[in-house]
Amino acid sequence: MVASVASTYSDILTSVFSSTIAAKAWLATGAGALALVQISTGARIFGKIRHLVPIPPPYVNRIHRWSGRLAILLTLPVAFHCIFILGFKTTDMRVLAHSIVGSFVYGLIAVKLFFVHDNDHPRWTLPLVGGIVFATLATLWSTSSLWYFTNVRFGF
């Protein structure tokens, strides 16, 4: 079952990118770029950096919601390959850190989304949990895509 899904997944990705690894590196980069949109629009929703993000509510909320959903969507094929095809590896510190942090990411996202819909929490909770999700995605990106672009190849 996983083998057949993996072969369809690989056929789809290699119809656009030169390899599944290049595809993962770019999809994770897309999610990372959207995470930057998330952190700045999240700060704007909380009344900060008005000059840097001059988009008023409710537009900024709508941008945050949809770019957040898209960021999560972009990570799904990447995580599928990581979890079901590569698995948890301890080759070196980079790969170990990547595997550990990767194992936490959807749990943290679930906590973040819980607080989005919960109204009974201190005001600092959402910026804190959102910031942790951002830091987690940044760590995953630096221990994978950044490494790939600087040590293997930079291209599609």
Binding site for ligand HEM (CB under 6 A): 21, 24-25, 28, 35, 38-39, 42-43, 45-46, 61, 64-65, 68-69, 71-72, 75, 78-79, 82-83, 86-89, 91, 95, 98-99, 102-103, 105, 112-113, 116, 126-127, 130-131, 133-134, 137, 140, 144-145, 148
Nearest to 27 by CA among 84, 83, 71: 71
Write down the least CB distance from residue 11 to ligand HEM, Å.
Answer: 16
- For ligand HEM, give the closer residue by CB, 4 or 121: 121
- For ligand HEM, give the closer residue by CB, 6 or 126: 126
Omega within 30 of 0 (cis) for the link into 58: yes
Write down the least CB distance from residue 146 to ligand HEM, Å.
Answer: 9
Site of tokens 């980069």: 29
* Maximal CA-CA distance, the chain: 51
Residue nearest to ligand HEM (CB): 130
Write down the least CB distance from residue 106 to ligand HEM, Å.
Answer: 7
Distance CA 36, CA 131 (A): 11
Would you mind telling me the total number of residues written for the chain in this entry?
156
Nearest to 109 by CA among 74, 62, 85: 74
Indicate the DSSP class of residue 91: S
Write down the least CB distance from residue 149 to ligand HEM, Å.
Answer: 10
